[in-house]
Structure 1
Amino acid sequence: MRQVLVYKADPQRGRQWAEIFRDEAPEIEFRLWPDVGDGADVHYLAAWEPPADLATRLPNLRLLLSTGAGVDQFDLTALPPGLPVVRMVEPGIVCGMVEYVTHAVLDLHRDMPAYRRAQQQREWQVIQVRPASERRIGVLGLGSLGQAVLDKLVSFGFDCAGWSRSRHEVPGVVCHAGADELEGFLARSEILVCLLPLTDETRGLLNSALFAKLPKGASLVHVGRGPQLVAAELLRALDEGHLAEAVLDVTDPEPLPRDHALWSHPRVRVTPHIASMTQPHTAARVAIDNLRRFARGEPLVGLVDRRRGY
C-alpha cells in the first residue's frame, strides 16, 4: 500500500517540501492541505496545527509530525490516545537559535544596550570590560537547543550552567536538575536564557519570585514560549533595578499589541519570534528520515512524551 503524507502549514514551504519528497522519497505520496483527497488514505500528517476534527478527518492516521520545534500549539489531550507525535529536530532550527542567543548574550555581556542609550544622549561613556570567564550564564532547558547554545557559549569562555527537570551532562557546563537545585542555579546566573518548552509547570515561570532569586543586575534572554513570562512582573523588576535588561523573542500574545509597555521600555528589546525558523529543505529531509524510521519500527527522532508535553 502506498504511504500518504499530508502537509498542513505554510503553503510556500509546503511546495518546497513537495519537491524534496518527489525527488528523494517517491514511495511517499505528498499532499498539500487542503487538497487531502480521501482522508482514509492518509497515514502521516505534518502540521503546525492539526485540524480540530483530526480523528474523523484522517481516521487512519499513524503519525503526527510537528513542523516546528515545539508541540505546545497542539492540544495533546484532544489527539487520539495512541497516536505518536514527533517535534521537528533539524539543523536549521538549531543553528538559528545558536546565532540568536549568542548575539543576545554577547550584546548584554559587552554592555551594548548601555552604549546605545549613551549614543542617543551623545554621551562618551566607557564601561569597564569584563572577560567572558567572569560572566556567569545560565540556560534553562537542556534539550537539543539548550545544549547547542551552551556549546557555543562555552567556546567563548563564559562560565556556563544549565538547568532541566532531569539530570544531564554537558561538557564544560555545571548542570543542575530538579526543583531542589533551581534556586542555586538562579543565584549564579547573571544572564539567564530561557529555552524551556511550554508545559503546565513552565507557564508563568518567569515571574517576580524567580527574578528575585537572580543576582541584582541580571539580564534575561527569553526564547522559550510567550506564556512562560509574566510581563508585568518583568517590567517591575526592571523598573526597580533588580534586573538590568531583557531580550524577548517570544511574547504573550503574539503579535504583541501596539500599545503594550514592552515595546517602549528602554531596557527591553523585542523581536517577533524569529530566533530560529524551520528551514524547509532540511526539515523535509528530517521528516523523510523519521517516516522511514517509523516504517522500519525504529526509534523516532523528537518523539514527544505526551505526559510531559514535550
Structure 2
Amino acid sequence: MRVLFAAPARLWDDWAPALRAACPEIELTRDGAPDSFDALIYAPGYPEDGTELDFSPFVNARVVQSLWAGVERIVTNPTLTQPLCRMVDPGLAQGMVEYCTGWAMRAHLGMDNYPQDGVWRQGMTPPLASDREVTVLGMGELGRAVAATLAGLGFDVAGWSQSGRPVEGIPVLAGDQLELALARAEILICLLPDTPETRNLLDADRLALLPEGATVINAGRGTLIDDAALLTALDRNHPGHAVLDVFRTEPLPPDHPFWSHPRVTVTPHIAAETRPATAALVAAENLRRAMRDEALLYRVDRMRGY
C-alpha cells in the first residue's frame, strides 16, 4: 500500500517511524506520482508554498486521513472527493480531559484568590463540586470524555449539542436549549468544531446569559467566541474569567488585548496535542480498512463539516 505523507516536512521525523511501526505493510513517502498513491496522510500546511492542495490527481486514493481532529481547513476544498477521516486519538482525548479538568478545578476552587501577600483570607471557602454547575458545549468524542470526568469528580454537569443526542450519565440539552445551557454554566467548557453554525456562537447576547462571575474555558475553536464581545463582557465580570487556548489567528499576535486583560488567561493551543505513538494506530486501522473496502473510522460528514 503506497501512502503519501501530505503534511509539513517538520512533522516527518516524528510521524514516519510511528506510522511505519503501526502499519509495516505501507510504503510511506513524501513524493511521487499522484496516481500511484492508495491513500494520503494529511495535515494543513501542505504544500508548504502556501497553495491549497489539489486532490484531483489522486484518482486512486481510497482515503485521506487527517492527522488532526479539526478538519475545517480541508473539508471545504472543492477538489477533495476522496473519503476524509478526522483523527480521534486516545492520547488527544486524555490531554483534553486533563486540560479542561485542571482549569475547571482551578476556577472552582478559586486558586487565584490567595495571593501570597501575608493577608489571611478566611471565609472564601468554595462550594463542593456537587453544588457547582458545569456546561460542556459540544458532546463529541472529546466533550463526552471531559463531561464524564467532571461528573465523576462530583460536578453537576450538563452537555449541549445541536442534535441533543443522549449520552449515558450526562443530561444533554439540544440545539434550541442553548440559552438554558448557558444560564446554568458557572463553568462553561467550549469544545465545539468550527462550522458556519458555530462561528460567533458566543456573541454579546449569549455571553450575557452566563451567571455573573462565570468562567469560560475555550479549547475548541477560536471562532466560537466573538472576541470584542468577550472583552466587553469580561469588563463587566460577566463572565468573570476566560481561559483561552484557541484563537482566530495563531500564534496570537503580541499586541492582541487578550494578552493584557486581567481576566484572561492565554495558553498557546496546548490543550490537546495529537501524539504520533497513539494516533498512528488509528491511522493504520483506517488504511487497512480502506484497502479492504470496509467502513472507515471517523469519516467526515461533508454537509456538517466534521
Could you say which TM-score interval applies, normalised by the shorter chain? over 0.9
Distance between the aligned counterparts of 2:19 and 2:127, measured in 1? 50
Query: Do the aligned residues in 1 keep the contact of 2:75 with 2:302 (CA within 8 Å)?
Result: no
Q: Shift in Å at residue 56 of structure 1?
A: 4.5
Corresponding residue of 1:307: 303
Distance between the aligned counterparts of 1:71 and 1:258, measured in 2? 27
Answer with 63-72 or 130-139: which moved more: 63-72
Match for residue 5 of structure 2 among 4, 7, 13: 7
Distance between the aligned counterparts of 2:277 and 2:10, measured in 1? 12
Distance between the aligned counterparts of 1:208 and 1:48, measured in 2? 34
Distance between the aligned counterparts of 1:37 and 1:257, measured in 2? 37
Answer with 219-228 or 49-58: which moved more: 49-58
Percent sequence identity over aligned pairs: 45
Query: Do the aligned residues in 2 keep the contact of 1:64 with 1:86 (CA within 8 Å)?
Result: yes
Corresponding residue of 2:20: 22
Distance between the aligned counterparts of 1:102 and 1:292, measured in 2? 35
Query: 5+ residue gaps in structure 2?
Result: none
- Asked if 1:79 is matched to 2:79, the reply is yes
Q: Shift in Å at residue 171 of structure 1?
A: 3.1
Distance between the aligned counterparts of 1:170 and 1:209, measured in 2? 28
Q: Deviations over 1:246-295 (max 9, x none)?
A: 10001121111111110011111000101010111111111010111122
- Seen in structure 2, the aligned counterparts of structure 1 residues 125 and 271 have a Cα distance that, compared at 3 Å, is same
Letter in 2 for 1:189: A
Distance between the aligned counterparts of 1:213 and 1:277, measured in 2? 31
Query: Do the aligned residues in 2 keep the contact of 1:48 with 1:67 (CA within 8 Å)?
Result: yes
Corresponding residue of 2:136: 139
Q: Shift in Å at residue 176 of structure 1?
A: 0.6
Q: Deviations over 1:45-100 (max 9, x none)?
A: 111125424234534332111111110121524233x3111000111110100000
- Asked if 1:99 is matched to 2:98, the reply is yes
Distance between the aligned counterparts of 1:298 and 1:167, measured in 2? 29
Q: Deviations over 1:184-227 (max 9, x none)?
A: 11111111000000000111112211111112221100001112
Q: Deviations over 1:87-130 (max 9, x none)?
A: 00111110100000000100000012333xx44x6543231221
Distance between the aligned counterparts of 1:83 and 1:308, measured in 2? 16
Q: Any idea what SS the aligned residue of 1:247 has?
A: strand
Letter in 1 for 2:39: Y
- Asked if 1:48 is matched to 2:46, the reply is no
Q: TM-score, normalised by structure 1?
A: 0.91
Match for residue 292 of structure 1 among 263, 288, 294: 288
Q: Shift in Å at residue 232 of structure 1?
A: 1.3
Match for residue 263 of structure 2 among 267, 281, 287: 267
Letter in 1 for 2:149: K
Query: Do the aligned residues in 1 keep the contact of 2:221 with 2:246 (CA within 8 Å)?
Result: yes
Q: Deviations over 1:124-175 (max 9, x none)?
A: 3231221000000000000000000011101110000000011322233221
Aligned residues: 300
Letter in 2 for 1:155: G
Letter in 1 for 2:277: H
Q: Shift in Å at residue 177 of structure 1?
A: 1.0
Q: Any idea what SS the aligned residue of 1:76 has?
A: coil
Query: Do the aligned residues in 2 keep the contact of 1:229 with 1:251 (CA within 8 Å)?
Result: no
Distance between the aligned counterparts of 2:56 and 2:195, measured in 1? 27
Query: Do the aligned residues in 2 keep the contact of 1:219 with 1:244 (CA within 8 Å)?
Result: yes
- Seen in structure 2, the aligned counterparts of structure 1 residues 292 and 190 have a Cα distance that, compared at 3 Å, is same
Q: Any idea what SS the aligned residue of 2:125 has?
A: coil
- Seen in structure 2, the aligned counterparts of structure 1 residues 224 and 24 have a Cα distance that, compared at 3 Å, is closer
- Seen in structure 2, the aligned counterparts of structure 1 residues 30 and 212 have a Cα distance that, compared at 3 Å, is same
Answer with 193-202 or 237-246: which moved more: 237-246
Corresponding residue of 2:183: 187
Distance between the aligned counterparts of 2:19 and 2:155, measured in 1? 42
Corresponding residue of 2:58: 58
Q: Shift in Å at residue 242 of structure 1?
A: 1.7
Letter in 2 for 1:158: F
